[in-house]
Every structure is written in structure tokens, then in C-alpha cells.
Amino acid sequence: MAGENPTIAMTRTFRALLAEMMGRALRLRAFVILGLLLETLGLIMTVAYPVALKDLIDLLAGKGGSALALVSAIVLAAGCWAGPNLTGACRHFCTTRICGVLANEFTRRSVASQLPLLATTAKGETGVILGALERMPFSLQLIVDGLMWQVLPLTVQLVVSLIVLAGLAPTVYAWLTTGLLGLVLACAYFNARRWKKLAAGINAASGRMSHIQTDVIRNARRVVFNGNVAGELRWIASGGLERRQAAEAGAVSLIRFSFVQNALLCAGVLFIFYLGALDIRAGVMTVGTFVLIQSYLFRLTQPAASFVFLILGAGVAMENIAAVLDMATPMPADSDREHHRPAGPARISIERLGFSYGAGLPEIGEIDLEIASGSFVAIVGPSGAGKSTLAQLIAGLKSPARGRVMIGDADLSSVEPGERSRHILYVPQFISLFDRPLRDNLLSPLPPITMRRRV
């Protein structure tokens, strides 16, 4: 919705996606639950690994444990280290199924909703629709794999890990780790805001480059016959230079950010390590506890650096999914109007039919016409007289400004668009062929031969 708060819009879109995933129609509920269980199991093992490693090191340092206890500690630490990779691979299968089914369903709905609009209007939205549909699979992947399986679990992992760290190590280390994480997130936030502006410039430069290339290639005959190949190549090169300079500016910004963030991160880690070494020498904590602190530091700070980028990326993906969901929404039907199916002979009755393309533009005056069932009628007239417009009005491809068209005993406007092709067909003056074998084009609207074989 225009003017809607971005957070509210993002939440509304996410809830709509969850409703689709958990609904019965798409049969995705089991994959969502399985993915959630796998992510939870991976999260438990990720948080437990530093604790298992601490216990193993303390056991080795104490030299008092049995062989069975030592083997158990080694197996537990190894399992907690390798387990998240296995659960992540299994979870990826769930993500692939969820994104694939949603993409197919949203594409089907969008095309079904937009085709009648594209056929009856000249709004030129084909490129916008195709662009949104092409970006949709990646957007779904970013939301499911990024937001659902990374951002939300990472938030839980950060909280649980800090609680475990505060319980097993001196409290000061939990506070220092929290402060270091806050510093990393702050750096990532400011860099993400700057990168968003740079990315907009890169996308704009890439869009201009694509426009230049398309314009030149589309007019290849004119370019070659006018002897201006060298000039157009220079024009393409200028667009490529602009795109390269924008991309390099973004790369330089990332290098600066990485240097600043890692310098601060190294300083914080070295300070915590220095305090840990002092506490070990003073007997305040064991080597295992020191390893526990080190493991949580590296396991939390590295993914935290990408935390903000994932959220911003998910926000952009949500905008694209929201656009697709809007396209997939059927046009509102007139609930007060009864829908009819023509019955009897397919005669056509035109009663006081009128149409106009706009103020000051040519229009069709009030027309009364009767076309008997089974008759052959030719409409003749000079170019621009309205012959094609009248045919499109009769076929229901355009809505009359006044009057009505009757097919048999039914008003054409009361016949659902999906039913009209059963009673009246329109063959345009200029036709296009599907990118399919000629046999399939000749047999259209029957399904393609290959599709019928699969079915």
C-alpha cells in the first residue's frame, strides 16, 4: 500500500508468505516444520560446541577422567562441530522445495491475473511483470534461507550463547563480548546504509548500460547501414565505463569498511584474550573456559557482521514479493452482478454501442447491429474508421462507454472472461507465434504436444 510504514509492509508480506506455507493447498507445512526442527537442532549443537570443547580440554588438563569419559567427550565435541553442517544441508532441501512450490504458484496466479489485463489494455507493463517474476525465486530464497533460517535463529543463538557464557565464565567476559558484538553490529549498520546508496548507483548504471545495449542491438540495421558502428561502440563503451566506475566505488567502500571493522574486532579480541591470559595465570579460570570464550567470540562476531546486510536484503526481497502478490491478486469482481452463460444460437446483438479512447480523440458513435447465428458478416471502411475497435468490443476485449453487446440471451459484460472464449473468439490483424513447434501453434489453444505427453 502506498505510504505504508516499511516495517508494517514487510511484516504484512511475511505473514502472507507464512500463511501460504502453512496452508493446506500447497502442502508445504511439513517442510516448514522439518526445516524449523533441523534449524533448531543445528542451533543447539552450535551453542553446545564451545561447552563440549571446554569440557574436553578440562578433562584432558585434569588427567583424571576414564577412557570412556574421554572418548565420550571427543565424540560429543566432534558431533556438535560437524552436526550443524549436516542439518544445514538437509534444511537446504526443505528450502528448495518451499521456494520452488511458492515460485510456481505465484507465477501461475500472476500470469492468470495479468493476462486479461494485458490483453485488453495498452499499459506496457510487460517488462515490469517479467522483471518481478524473474527476481521472485531469488527473493524467496533470500527470505526463507536468509530471514527464516539465518536472521531469526542467529538472534536466538546470540542471546542463548551470551547467557551460557555468563553462566560458565566470569561475568565480565559476557559483558565484553556483548559490547564487541554491539560494535560490530553498529559498524555493519552504518556500512549497510552507505552500501545501499552505492548499490542503487550501481543498479542505475547497469540499467543504463542494458538500455544502451538493447537500443543498439534492436536498431542493428540502422547502425550498420548508416556506417555508425564505431560511434555506437563508443556509446556502449561509455556506459560500460560508468558501470565499472560505480562497481569499483562500491568495492573500495567495502574494503574500507572491512579494514575498520576487522581492526576494531581484532583490538577487542586481543583485549579479551589478554584478560583471559591474566586470569589463567592467576588461577581464576581454566584453559577450557578460555577456549569457551574464544569459541563464542569467533562464532558470534563473524555472522553478526552480515546480520544487517541480511535484514536489508530481506527487506528488498519483501518489496518484490509484495509486488508479485499484488499482481497475483485477481481483479475484484462485481459482487452485485450475476454471471450468465449464453444459451441457444450464438447471435450477436449490439444495442446503442459507444466507445471513446479519450477526450478529443476519435470515438465510435451509437451503433445498433444484429448478426444472426451462422451468418458471415464483413465490416468494411477506411483506415481508422474503428473496424478493429468494434471487433474488440464485440469480443469483450474492450469495455464500451455506453450500450451493450448481447451474445445469445446474455449480456457480454455478465459473462466471466474465462467463459467468453467458449462462445466468441477474436483473431487479431497482426498475430505472433509462440516459441514452440509449428504444430503446437496450429493446434493452439490445445496444450503443447510435449505437455500432453507428460500428462
Residue ranges per structural domain of the chain: 1-169+306-332, 177-284, 348-454
Predicted confidence at residue 37, as pLDDT, reads: 92
Encode pLDDT of 304-340 as tens digits: 767 766 776 777 788 788 888 888 876 555 444 556 6
Residue 112 has pLDDT above 70, yes or no: yes
Helix (H, G, I), strand (E, B) or coil at 330: coil
Contact 303/154 with Cβ under 8 angstroms?
yes
Summarize the confidence of residues 132-143 as an average pLDDT: 85
Predicted confidence at residue 433, as pLDDT, reads: 74
Which secondary-structure segment (H or E) carries 249? helix 229-281
Encode pLDDT of 151-189 as tens digits: 777 788 888 888 888 888 888 988 998 888 888 888 877
Tell which residue, 441, 74, 151, has the closest CA to residue 312.
Answer: 151
* Cis peptide, bond prior to residue 445, ω within 30 of zero: yes
Which secondary-structure segment (H or E) carries 175? helix 171-218
Can you point out the beta strands (E) in 286-412?
348-356, 363-371, 402-407, 410-411
Give me the architecture of the 1-169+306-332 domain, per CATH. Up-down Bundle (1.20)
Which secondary-structure segment (H or E) carries 310? helix 307-328
Encode pLDDT of 27-84 as tens digits: 999 999 999 899 889 888 988 888 888 888 888 877 566 778 888 888 998 998 999 8
The type of residue at 155 is T
In whole angstroms, give the CA distance from residue 69 to residue 22. 44
Helix (H, G, I), strand (E, B) or coil at 306: coil
The type of residue at 198 is L
Residue 6 has pLDDT above 80, yes or no: no
Q: List helix spans (H) across 282-306.
A: 287-305
- The grid cell for 68 is 570412556
Predicted confidence at residue 331, as pLDDT, reads: 57
Share of the chain above pLDDT 90, in %: 9
Residue 450 has pLDDT above 60, yes or no: no
CA 18, distance to chain mean position in Å, is 14
Give me the architecture of the 348-454 domain, per CATH. 3-Layer(aba) Sandwich (3.40)
Predicted confidence at residue 12, as pLDDT, reads: 85
Summarize the confidence of residues 439-451 as an average pLDDT: 66
Summarize the confidence of residues 134-160 as an average pLDDT: 83
With vertex at residue 384, the alpha carbon angle to CA 378 and CA 387, rounded to the nearest 5 degrees, is 25
Tell which residue, 265, 245, 261, has the closest CA to residue 309.
Answer: 261
- The grid cell for 67 is 577412557
Q: In the structure, what pLDDT confidence band is assigned to residue 201 with cuts at 50, 70 and 90?
A: confident
Predicted confidence at residue 448, as pLDDT, reads: 59
In whole angstroms, give the CA distance from residue 390 to residue 429. 13
Summarize the confidence of residues 225-248 as an average pLDDT: 87
In whole angstroms, give the CA distance from residue 396 to residue 425. 10
Summarize the confidence of residues 207-224 as an average pLDDT: 82
In whole angstroms, give the CA distance from residue 111 to residue 103. 12
- CATH topology identical between 1-169+306-332 and 348-454: no
Encode pLDDT of 249-263 as tens digits: 888 887 887 788 888
